[in-house]
């Protein structure tokens, strides 16, 4: 095989794995193996720029920046859909169609109505050419770079696809991914996104496609458009699209008559909450494409299709009171305490009110009968007030001016929706929240210490910041509620062990606003020590890859604070890792490019996994057994004699971990 053939084979293989994983939901290799192959392809492509292919799976990670999205006309207009809300509406629609078509039998395709952002994607010769947003229906924005990062969108088709066609679908963000994104935002003190739909459509217009690549977006397709397509019915089109590699939800159903359509609607009205993404109705389409042609379009929508909107699950109930929660970063969140009520299968007692603006906009008052709806969020939200039921003596809600926990006057920064309690060091929920964040698994991962115990320690005046944890004595812990000798021992041991946590995670654990896991890694890699970060200027920080002004400003503020510096000095004194360990410094490079390593035995400075990662981070490959293709064997203690023998036979250098460290630091 020549290089080009190898490249193509790898690309095809990776495309197939993407398809298995993202479209079929049925991966056949591990993520790790996938990453290895992707890396192999990346290296090969780097060596052979002459074979660059914009549709290579390596291009899926994004990186292209679009400053201004180009406006392009749709070759075929993107219409809206008429809505219907009842059986009668649907029967009327059927009658109108029947009147135009005459008394012919009609079949219908029923599909769920996916709630996201519509997209039109053009393919030519089986390759993704262009993806355009709906815009005003006549023209939209070219978002090709961003769409290519969504792995469910095929960049190369398979089977007997037509030479040229468009396909339409919806870009969505499944609940699980949405919640994960929000969890990460909450962890660094950012405001979470309101709902999956807006987040999905916002993602399409991000300038940095690498950002889009990180979002767990999905693409569900529902219609083929083009001349002379090899299909006679809409349903056939769905099946073909599926064969060519598109993700077409299998819930789509061919109904022989209106009764079957109604059955489909009734079924999904009850079961739609079992879907992993949001749906807001059913789209019914007359199946025969000739019939569709004959029916044509109104000014705004096709006559051959109609959306049936599910009734949003909504109830009304009384707002008993509003309470205000104080988060780890001091952000205030108003929460509605409701008269308990059944909604979408659960009893709802509380609803989110977001912020002061929201309360003011809806003029929500205590004692009001409010409408509560459950969207994609975990916590339901209040969407309005039943003014007819407002008590005569009701009063406009006055947002609190002082912190409910520490009575400090609240602040609200220019352009921010939330109020904040500025009492960073004296406000109990902020103090407890920060320590709770410090001990979480992704941060210091302190075993034997949980969130509730942190509150207990604080309430007993044993800790007021995370540095205090390292001064805790067993005798202080044992007398506490639900504590005993053994649990105290575990806690102390867990705290002691956290001194081994690497710097990048310590940096994340400090809870600097906007410094999440990724940013912490970037900063640690760039500056190597807390002192270097603390003395960096705003400009310095902004120049670091992916660090924006908001983050930089927050870092500066954190280190400007005397108290923070003092706490960090204490952490240093206790032996917490506040710099990157020189020996384990495995900065990314390509010094090992083209070299294959086999790792064997037990190591002192690395775990085996870390050593393998270091090899890969520096461009090398990890082989599983010694062969003629191996360049080096990295040997630790207890390396098997058979392996040693084999390396000798093949004349492969056997190096120690220190040799290896030297090698990558050269």
Cα distances (angstroms) measured from residue 577 to each of 187, 436, 492, 516, 533: 22, 19, 18, 18, 14
In the complex with Zn ion, the residue whose CB is nearer, 410 or 491, is 410
Q: How far apart are the first and last CA of the chain?
A: 34
Least distance to ligand AMP, CB of residue 47, Å? 42
Q: Can you tell me which of 41, 427, 449, 456 binds Zn ion, judged by CB under 5 A?
A: 427
Report 248-307 residues binding ligand AMP (CB under 6 A).
Answer: 283, 307
Using Cβ positions, the residue closest to ligand AMP within the complex turns out to be: 118
Cα–chain center distance at 273: 20
E strand residue ranges, 36-143: 71-73, 83-84, 108-114, 117-124, 127-133, 139-141
Q: Can you tell me which of 170, 278, 405, 616 binds Zn ion, judged by CB under 5 A?
A: 405
Rounded CA separation 516/511 (Å): 8
Least distance to Zn ion, CB of residue 411, Å? 11
Residue 247 interacts with ligand AMP (CB under 6 A)? no
In the complex with Zn ion, the residue whose CB is nearer, 375 or 422, is 422
Residue 157 interacts with Zn ion (CB under 5 A)? no
427 contact choice in Zn ion, ligand AMP, none (CB below 5 to 8 Å, kind-dependent) = Zn ion
SS (H, E, C) 304-331: CEEEEECCCCEEEEEEEEEEEEECCCCE
Report 608-647 residues binding Zn ion (CB under 5 A).
Answer: none
Rounded CA separation 519/553 (Å): 13
> What letter does residue 645 receive in the DSSP assignment?
H
Q: Can you tell me which of 19, 34, 93, 114 binds ligand AMP, judged by CB under 6 A?
A: 114
Residue 80 interacts with ligand AMP (CB under 6 A)? yes
Least distance to ligand AMP, CB of residue 345, Å? 24
Rounded CA separation 338/348 (Å): 8
Rounded CA separation 228/37 (Å): 39
Residue 578 interacts with Zn ion (CB under 5 A)? no
Cβ(368)–Cβ(386) under 8 Å? Answer: yes
H helices of 363-473, in order, are 428-439, 451-459
Cα distances (angstroms) measured from residue 247 to each of 5, 137, 431, 552, 662: 28, 23, 47, 41, 48
Rounded CA separation 656/659 (Å): 5
Tokens 């090709």: give the residue.
144
Residue 418 interacts with Zn ion (CB under 5 A)? no
Q: How many CB atoms lie within 10 A of CB 141?
A: 19
Q: Can you read off the two tokens belonging to residue 355? A: 């912020």
Least distance to Zn ion, CB of residue 428, Å? 8
Least distance to Zn ion, CB of residue 464, Å? 14
Cβ(659)–Cβ(606) under 8 Å? Answer: no
Binding-site residue set for Zn(2+)? 403, 406, 421, 427
In the complex with ligand AMP, the residue whose CB is nearer, 298 or 321, is 298
Q: Can you tell me which of 7, 38, 81, 446 binds ligand AMP, judged by CB under 6 A?
A: 81
Residue 110 interacts with ligand AMP (CB under 6 A)? no
H helices of 478-589, in order, are 485-497, 503-509, 517-527, 530-534, 538-543, 549-560, 562-574
Residue 329 interacts with Zn ion (CB under 5 A)? no
Rounded CA separation 11/101 (Å): 48
Give the range of 24-32, 110-118, 345-353, 520-528 binding ligand AMP by CB under 6 A.
110-118
Least distance to ligand AMP, CB of residue 461, Å? 57
Give the range of 169-177, 182-190, 395-403, 440-448 binding Zn ion by CB under 5 A.
395-403
Rounded CA separation 295/79 (Å): 14
Least distance to ligand AMP, CB of residue 60, Å? 23
118 contact choice in Zn ion, ligand AMP, none (CB below 5 to 8 Å, kind-dependent) = ligand AMP
Q: Can you tell me which of 170, 278, 288, 368 binds ligand AMP, judged by CB under 6 A?
A: 170
CB neighbours of 185 closer than 8 A, spacing ≥ 6? 191, 192, 193
In the complex with ligand AMP, the residue whose CB is nearer, 14 or 286, is 286
491 contact choice in Zn ion, ligand AMP, none (CB below 5 to 8 Å, kind-dependent) = none
Instruction: Count residues near ligand AMP (CB under 6 A).
Output: 11
406 contact choice in ligand AMP, Zn ion, none (CB below 5 to 8 Å, kind-dependent) = Zn ion
114 contact choice in ligand AMP, Zn ion, none (CB below 5 to 8 Å, kind-dependent) = ligand AMP
Binding-site residue set? 31-35, 80-81, 111, 134, 170, 285, 309, 403, 406, 421, 427
In the complex with ligand AMP, the residue whose CB is nearer, 251 or 316, is 251
Cβ(397)–Cβ(359) under 8 Å? Answer: yes
81 contact choice in ligand AMP, Zn ion, none (CB below 5 to 8 Å, kind-dependent) = ligand AMP
Task: Check residue 149 and give left, alpha or beta (phi > 0: left; psi -120 to 50: alpha).
Answer: alpha
Considering the candidates 39, 47, 87, 113, report the single residue annotated as catalytic.
Answer: 113
Rounded CA separation 214/208 (Å): 11
Cα distances (angstroms) measured from residue 205 to each of 94, 134, 549: 38, 12, 21
Q: Is 95 a catalytic residue?
A: no
Q: Can you tell me which of 106, 128, 153, 421 binds Zn ion, judged by CB under 5 A?
A: 421
Give the range of 112-120, 198-206, 454-462, 584-592 binding ligand AMP by CB under 6 A.
112-120
SS (H, E, C) 570-628: HHHHHCCCCECCCCCCCCCCCCCCCCEEEEECECCCCCHHHHHHHHHHCCCEECCCCCC
Q: Can you tell me which of 59, 118, 144, 199 binds ligand AMP, judged by CB under 6 A?
A: 118
Give the range of 58-66, 111-119, 484-492, 649-657 binding ligand AMP by CB under 6 A.
111-119
Q: Can you read off the two tokens belonging to residue 153? A: 């969108």
In the complex with ligand AMP, the residue whose CB is nearer, 81 or 295, is 81
Instruction: Count residues near Zn ion (CB under 5 A).
Output: 7
Binding-site residue set for NAD(+)? 31-35, 80-81, 111, 134, 170, 285, 309
Residue 222 interacts with ligand AMP (CB under 6 A)? yes
Give the range of 84-92, 152-160, 407-415, 471-479 binding Zn ion by CB under 5 A.
407-415
Cβ(622)–Cβ(657) under 8 Å? Answer: no
Residue 488 interacts with ligand AMP (CB under 6 A)? no
Annotated catalytic sites, by residue? 113
Question: Residue numbers of the site for ligand AMP (CB under 6 A)?
Answer: 80-81, 111, 113-114, 118, 134, 170, 222, 283, 307
């Amino acid at each position: 095989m020549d290089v080009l053939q190898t490249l193509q084979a790898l690309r095809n293989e990776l495309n197939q794995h993407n398809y298995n994983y993202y479209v079929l939901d049925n991966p056949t290799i591990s993520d790790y193996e996938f990453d290895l192959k992707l890396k192999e392809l990346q290296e090969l492509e780097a060596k052979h720029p002459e074979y660059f292919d914009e549709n290579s799976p390596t291009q899926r990670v994004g990186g292209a920046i679009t400053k201004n999205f180009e406006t392009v006309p749709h070759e075929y207009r993107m219409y809206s859909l008429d809505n219907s809300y009842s059986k009668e509406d649907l029967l009327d629609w059927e009658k109108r169609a029947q009147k135009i078509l005459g008394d012919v039998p009609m079949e219908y395709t029923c599909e769920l109505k996916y709630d996201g952002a519509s997209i039109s994607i053009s393919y030519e010769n089986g390759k993704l050419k262009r993806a355009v947003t709906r815009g005003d229906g006549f023209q939209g924005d070219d978002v090709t770079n961003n769409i290519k990062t969504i792995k469910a969108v095929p960049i190369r088709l398979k089977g007997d696809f037509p030479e040229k066609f468009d396909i339409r679908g919806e870009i969505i963000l499944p609940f699980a991914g949405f919640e994960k994104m929000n969890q990460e935002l909450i962890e660094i003190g950012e405001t979470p996104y309101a709902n999956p739909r807006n987040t999905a459509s916002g993602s399409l217009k991000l300038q940095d496609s690498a950002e889009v690549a990180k979002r767990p977006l999905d693409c569900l397709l529902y219609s083929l458009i083009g001349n002379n397509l090899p299909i006679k019915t809409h349903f056939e089109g769905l099946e073909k699209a599926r064969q060519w590699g598109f993700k077409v939800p299998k819930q789509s159903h061919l109904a022989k008559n209106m009764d079957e359509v109604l059955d489909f609607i009734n079924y999904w009205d009850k079961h739609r909450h079992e879907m992993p993404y949001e749906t807001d109705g059913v789209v019914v389409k007359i199946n025969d494409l000739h019939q569709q042609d004959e029916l044509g379009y109104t000014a705004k929508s096709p006559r051959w299709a109609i959306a049936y909107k599910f009734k949003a699950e909504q109830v009304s109930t009384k707002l008993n009171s509003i309470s205000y929660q104080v988060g780890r970063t001091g952000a205030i969140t108003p929460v509605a305490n409701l008269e308990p009520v059944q909604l979408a299968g659960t009893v709802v007692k509380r609803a989110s009110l977001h912020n002061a603006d929201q309360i003011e906009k809806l003029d929500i008052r205590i004692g009001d009968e409010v409408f509560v709806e459950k969207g994609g969020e975990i916590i339901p939200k209040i969407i309005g007030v039943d003014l007819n039921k407002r008590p005569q003596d009701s009063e406009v809600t006055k947002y609190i001016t002082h912190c409910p926990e520490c009575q400090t006057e609240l602040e609200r920064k220019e352009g921010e929706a939330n109020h904040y309690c500025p009492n960073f060091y004296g406000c109990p929920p902020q103090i407890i929240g920060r320590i709770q964040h410090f001990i979480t698994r992704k941060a210091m991962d302190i075993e034997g210490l949980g969130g509730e115990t942190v509150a207990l320690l604080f309430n007993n005046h044993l800790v007021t910041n995370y540095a205090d944890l390292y001064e805790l004595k067993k005798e202080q812990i044992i007398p506490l509620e639900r504590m005993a000798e053994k649990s105290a021992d575990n806690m102390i041991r867990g705290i002691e062990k956290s001194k081994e946590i690497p710097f990048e995670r310590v940096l994340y654990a400090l809870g600097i606003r906007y410094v999440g896991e990724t940013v912490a890694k970037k900063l640690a890699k760039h500056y190597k020590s807390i002192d270097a970060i603390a003395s960096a200027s705003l400009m310095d920080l902004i120049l670091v890859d992916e660090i924006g002004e908001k983050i930089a400003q927050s870092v500066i503020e954190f280190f400007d604070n005397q108290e923070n510096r003092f706490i960090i000095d204490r952490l240093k004194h206790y032996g917490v890792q506040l710099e990157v360990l020189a020996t384990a410094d495995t900065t990314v490079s390509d010094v090992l490019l083209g070299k294959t390593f086999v790792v064997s035995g037990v190591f002192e400075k690395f775990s085996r996994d870390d050593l393998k990662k270091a090899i890969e981070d520096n461009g090398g490959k990890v082989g599983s057994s010694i062969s003629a293709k191996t360049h080096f064997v990295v040997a630790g203690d207890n390396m098997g004699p058979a392996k040693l023998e084999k390396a000798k036979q093949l004349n492969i250098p056997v190096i120690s971990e220190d040799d290896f460290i030297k090698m990558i630091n050269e």
